[in-house]
Amino acid sequence: MAERPTRQEQGSAGTSPGPDTAAETLQQEFRELKGRADRLLANWQRSEADLSNPRKRFEAEQKETQTVAVAAVVVSFLPVLDDLERALLQVAEPLKGFTWVDGLWLTYRKAPVILDALGVRQIEAEGQSFDPKRHQAVQETAGEPGKVLHLLQQGYELQSLVLRPALVVIGKASAQPPPSAQGPAQPSPSSPKGLTA
CATH number, residue 143: 2.30.22.10
Q: Number of folded domains in the chain?
A: 1
In a domain, 19, yes or no: no
pTM of this structure: 0.59
Return the pLDDT at 103: 92
In a domain? residue 126:
yes
Q: What is the three-state SS of 64-87?
A: HHHHHHHHHHHHHHHHHHHHHHHH
Rounded to an integer, what distance in angstroms lies between the CA atom of residue 176 and that of residue 174?
Answer: 6
Range of weakest confidence among 59-68, 75-84, 109-118, 169-178: 169-178
* Confidence band for 191, pLDDT divided at 50, 70 and 90: very low
Q: What is the pLDDT of residues 11-56, one digit of tens each?
A: 454 555 566 788 889 999 999 999 999 999 999 988 888 888 888 8
Q: How far is CA 23 from CA 30, 145, 147, in A?
A: 10, 85, 82
Reported as half-sphere exposure (CB side, CA atoms, 13 A), residue 189 has a value of 0
Residue 60 CA to its chain's centroid (Å): 13
Quote the domain boundaries for residue 128: 122-174
Whether 103 maps to a domain, the answer reads no
Residue 43 inside a domain? The answer is no
More confident residue, 174 or 2: 174
